[in-house]
Amino acid sequence: MLKNVAIASKPAKEEISERLDEEQAKLAANQMRIRSAQVPVVVIFEGWGAAGKGSVLGKVIKDMDPRFFSVATLDAKPTEEERMRPFLWRYMVEMPAQGQFKFFDTCWMEEVTDGLARDELDGAAYDRRIDSINMCERQLVDNGYLVMKFFFHLSKEEQRRRLDALSAHKNTRWRVNEDDYRENEQYDRFLHIYDRYLRDTNRSSAPWYIIDAEDGRKWATLQVLEFLNNGIEVAIHNRGASAPLRQNVFPLKHVKPLSAIPLDKTMEFEEYRNQLKELRGRLRMLHYEAYRKRIPVVIAYEGWDAAGKGGNIKRITSALDPRGYRVYPIASPEPHEKARHYLWRFWERLPKDGHIAIFDRTWYGRVMVERIEGFCSNNDWRRAYNEINEFEHELVEAGTVVIKFWVQIDSETQLERFTDRQNTPEKQWKITDEDWRNREKWDQYEQAVNEMLARTSTTFAPWHVLESNDKRYARVKAMRIVVNAIEKACRRKS
Amino acid sequence: MLKNVAIASKPAKEEISERLDEEQAKLAANQMRIRSAQVPVVVIFEGWGAAGKGSVLGKVIKDMDPRFFSVATLDAKPTEEERMRPFLWRYMVEMPAQGQFKFFDTCWMEEVTDGLARDELDGAAYDRRIDSINMCERQLVDNGYLVMKFFFHLSKEEQRRRLDALSAHKNTRWRVNEDDYRENEQYDRFLHIYDRYLRDTNRSSAPWYIIDAEDGRKWATLQVLEFLNNGIEVAIHNRGASAPLRQNVFPLKHVKPLSAIPLDKTMEFEEYRNQLKELRGRLRMLHYEAYRKRIPVVIAYEGWDAAGKGGNIKRITSALDPRGYRVYPIASPEPHEKARHYLWRFWERLPKDGHIAIFDRTWYGRVMVERIEGFCSNNDWRRAYNEINEFEHELVEAGTVVIKFWVQIDSETQLERFTDRQNTPEKQWKITDEDWRNREKWDQYEQAVNEMLARTSTTFAPWHVLESNDKRYARVKAMRIVVNAIEKACRRKS
């Protein structure tokens, strides 16, 4: 689409200045409207080297209130640290809160096209990146984000002229590097790469806007502002709109409904102690092996209140080197978390390669408590099954071992444990009125859990049900599943 | 996405019946909500032969009010007649009005996958079809349509079983043909073709829903109904939402603003008569040649009131064989036209191969009168430049010669002609109060026309300005442009 894009015809100089003032004032007003409408805005600048992205960005934000926007400058090449997380991670953690603007001075496009240009990304890997990016942009928009993407276009000759001009002066020489000259020398090759990327990611949820950057900074700024203001107006108009459901496209495993799972499994203390000891030893060694082989592990715990999640997690962590794992207890989102895509706080907590993250409650809150308590719309939680599968797929694609536990007990056992907690002074902190209120909704939750298990038990991230009426049995089972999963991943990566 | 789609797990028999009753009642109610919300609904059924599309369709419409839906059954292979129009034509003319449902028992997917299967569609042609389809589905959704797409999925074994069962009985034998058996024999090949198509067209604007058709008609019906009801609820919720602008991706020609066009060109009567005579002769012969070579021609006239469009058109048609052309005067849309996509009435009037359609006023009303009179939203007319270019691109891709005239006069000339019309009894019918009212908005219109010329003067369908202060000059110029354009097309197709 770059090769034959319709560049708007440049107006006369005075007209540009006039319209620029207008649009700048409009943006200042729109920023406040975005703030009161609580829409999060992502603005992405991509384009040729020396096309003036930076200086246009400077003009765009000139009259904006600096409390409500920020700029992310990510290098095309991820750092060592960033490469220890899934591809999308370093972008996702930058995502703005409601009412905030985030400007990306180059985003995932540059990383991908740079990889193509260096022949570091083959066809299949490129396709996976495109799928990830399209998925991510769609999810952002479906969850209320405005995503505006600008590509700054420049001819070979003009780029050359600018590079030479920058190199000629010692104050600006630092802004030009080998890569810029390489881009210029291989202009046609890069044109092809950019064109392909723009076509592949030009979707309705977040279309591309090509900016004529050939003809001066003011004109380029005006084009950006006009598109941006229009986008904001559309987004504000559409606030509260629902996204269409998308069917899950990942292969699912068949899982039984909770009621079909017998809970009579038990384990004698002696056997429990022996097995635990053996498993603990293996897990300890595997943890070092996974660290050495840079395999990240995510262990997700969900289950009924008082099902024994905490004790279960403790048995796992007792085998782990504390430098290499972290447990995240997940409660209701904090205000700054609630203001973002509901998966944002989990993106933020993803483990680095070789590390283990254990989540005590997870992103599945979306399709359980948020669904049942009405904290999100019907459409939101229905859409979330697919979104969550996509999220976990990203993790698995990045080499993460994803283990999901549902800790299951029956209603009577819960009642016993609640009563016990109530009556034991040192356990009283563990039981709240909310637990009792949730207990009254047991049937509603059970239905939601069954639907969740059926819709998100993918082949790459299946659910494991831990029968936890007997906590010993559940602990050993969990440990064994974790050991087997990490062992398998280590063997694959030898 | 077909290869690893997550098929919902089939509930127990009684549950299916229960949910089926629920969803059927819901659909009946939703039909009325669609009617009062005035949303047009397109439902597309595609899938394997013998997957039960027809019988599920029968169950879906069972409780619907037949006044407000209809079924289009299009053959995978277009008829001779249909092939004389652009690919999308036979589908576009079927598009429902606001508040109406249209069920397509196979739509464009089958035509495309059938073409692939028969090796009649090569890679580039396939890509063009995919572009057309994605464009069309997006335009429909952007203009307020709900588009729901279902693919009925079936295993090789089950398909075989059904085909054999149908063939075994004389009453059902007619429902099975060679193609069905071929599809079954080459199941893996077709699976690949379908999978590719589903992936390529699975966009946010109209995602695919894969229906498990393996396990009985009731279960398949239930899946369709649940998705359909959900889609309807989302669409009703989103009524009035705006679509994001998309930048034009076609190469534009540079055009001058109207004020820069000198209007002093004239032509003496003698020369006019001679040139007209010569051109008329050439056009007559070219019309036959274009007919023989099956080249369709679209001539679009826009221009100021009293600019001389009528007389200009008359000179063109005087050279044409009346069996091979048609003039369409375009006024405000009729109610049944207004109830559809604004381009629908033009799709309906497209010429067959070898025929000429002359439009006296056109689809450009969207960005002129509808813009200025506020008949559509700001977002609607801004979006329309790209939509119109896409529309014309479809025509040109199908081999159509598209010629667009802007008939230009200055304001003084218009006043003279208005006054003359007012004062000449036999011309008085030509002048109305509305003409005077429009005249008062000359400046607004001029701005809109300039923007239109700049944004829609594509290389494949450029605007030609006819300087019509001297009608003779304008007529000869128009005739020459038409002659040259058709001649060029005929030469290319020798």
Residue A6's pLDDT is what?
56
Residue B4's pLDDT is what?
63
Closest CA to A489 of A288, A283, A295: A295
**B9 falls in which pLDDT band (50, 70, 90)?**
confident
Mean pLDDT in chain A? 94
Most B CBs within 10 Å, among A10, A143, A234, to test the B interface: A234
Output the six-digit token pair for B227.
């998705």
| Chain A closest-CA separation from residue B462 CA (Å) | 13
- Does A466 share its domain with A345? yes
DSSP B10-53: P--HHHHHHHHHHHHHHHHHHHHHHHHHT--EEEEEEESTTS-H
Residue A178's pLDDT is what?
87
Residue A5's pLDDT is what?
63
Mean pLDDT of all residues in A53-79: 92
User: Does residue A243 form part of some domain?
Assistant: no
**A7 falls in which pLDDT band (50, 70, 90)?**
low
> What SS3 string covers B345-380?
HHHHCCCCCCCEEEEECCHHHHHCHHHHCCCCCHHH
Q: Which residues of A touch B246 (CB under 8 A)?
A: 204, 207
Residue A251's pLDDT is what?
85
Mean pLDDT of all residues in B252-276: 94
ipTM above 0.90, yes or no: no
CB-CB contact of A154 with A51 (8 Å): yes
**Is the CB of A209 less than 8 angstroms away from the CB of B237?**
no
CB-CB contact of B317 with B327 (8 Å): yes
**B250 falls in which pLDDT band (50, 70, 90)?**
confident
CA dist., res. B140 & res. B344, Å (int): 10
Mean pLDDT of all residues in B262-270: 96
At which of B184, B204, B237 does a domain end?
B237
**Residue pLDDT, tens place only, A234-255:** 999 999 899 989 988 888 888 8
- Start-to-end CA distance of chain B, whole Å, equals 43
Determine the structural domain holding residue A486 and report its residue range. 258-492
CA dist., res. B494 & res. B293, Å (int): 8
The percent of residues above 70 in pLDDT, for chain B, comes to 99
**Is the CB of A208 less than 8 angstroms away from the CB of B241?**
no
- Does B193 share its domain with B339? no
| Cβ-Cβ contacts under 8 Å for A157 (sequence gap 6 or more) | none
Pairing relationship of beta strands B101-105 and A463-467 according to DSSP bridges: unpaired
**Is the CB of A1 less than 8 angstroms away from the CB of B209?**
no
| Cβ-Cβ contacts under 8 Å for A66 (sequence gap 6 or more) | none
- Does A217 share its domain with A268? no
At which of B237, B266, B281 does a domain end?
B237
At which of A183, A208, A237 does a domain end?
A237
Cβ neighbours around B286 below 10 Å, total: 23
Q: Which residues pair with B309 in a beta bridge?
A: none
**Residue pLDDT, tens place only, B399-450:** 999 999 999 999 999 999 999 999 999 888 888 899 999 999 999 999 999 9
Residue A177's pLDDT is what?
85
**B7 falls in which pLDDT band (50, 70, 90)?**
low
Look at residue A75 and tell me whether its pLDDT is greater than 70.
Answer: yes
CB-CB contact of B331 with B435 (8 Å): no
**Would an 8 Å CB–CB cutoff place B29 in contact with chain A?**
no
**Residue pLDDT, tens place only, B96-117:** 999 999 999 999 999 999 999 9
| Closest in B142, B233, B254 to A9, CB measured | B254
Provide the domain count of chain A.
Answer: 2
**Is the CB of A252 less than 8 angstroms away from the CB of B6?**
yes
- Does A281 share its domain with A410? yes
Residue B404's pLDDT is what?
98
**Residue pLDDT, tens place only, A15-47:** 999 999 999 999 999 999 999 999 999 999 999
- Does A232 share its domain with A265? no
Mean pLDDT of all residues in B345-366: 97
Output the six-digit token pair for A160.
């050359």
| Closest in B142, B207, B249 to A244, CB measured | B207
User: Does residue A249 form part of some domain?
Assistant: no
User: Does residue B153 form part of some domain?
Assistant: yes
- Does A89 share its domain with A23? yes
Helix (H) or strand (E) holding A393: helix A378-397
- Does B93 share its domain with B24? yes
Helix (H) or strand (E) holding B300: strand B297-303
- Does B301 share its domain with B416? yes
Q: Which residues of A touch B207 (CB under 8 A)?
A: 244-247
- Does A370 share its domain with A319? yes
Cβ neighbours around B234 below 10 Å, total: 19
Closest CA to B402 of B412, B410, B392: B392
Closest CA to B64 of B282, B199, B225: B225
- Does B295 share its domain with B432? yes
**Would an 8 Å CB–CB cutoff place B196 in contact with chain A?**
no
**Is the CB of B205 less than 8 angstroms away from the CB of A210?**
no
Residue B6's pLDDT is what?
56
- Does A226 share its domain with A298? no
Distances (CA, A) of B95 to A228, B81, B84: 33, 19, 19
User: Does residue A3 form part of some domain?
Assistant: no
**Would an 8 Å CB–CB cutoff place A227 in contact with chain B?**
yes
Judging by beta carbons within 10 Å of its beta carbon (0-12, 13-18, 19+), is residue B133 exposed, middle or buried?
A: buried
- Does B217 share its domain with B316? no
CATH code, A366 = 3.40.50.300
Query: Could you tell me the strand order of the sheet in which A41-47 lies?
Result: A69-72, A101-105, A41-47, A146-153, A208-212
Look at residue B8 and tell me whether its pLDDT is greater than 80.
Answer: no
CA dist., res. B448 & res. B470, Å (int): 24
Q: What is the pTM of this model?
A: 0.91
User: Does residue A248 form part of some domain?
Assistant: no
Nearest CA in chain B to A131: B199
User: Does residue A482 form part of some domain?
Assistant: yes
Instruction: Please compute, for residue A295, the number of CA atoms within 13 A of its CA located in the half-sphere on the CB side.
Output: 20
- Start-to-end CA distance of chain A, whole Å, equals 43
CA Rg value for chain B: 26
User: Does residue B31 form part of some domain?
Assistant: yes
User: Does residue B480 form part of some domain?
Assistant: yes
Instruction: Please compute, for residue A122, the number of CA atoms within 13 A of its CA located in the half-sphere on the CB side.
Output: 1
Q: Which residues pair with B407 in a beta bridge?
A: B303, B466
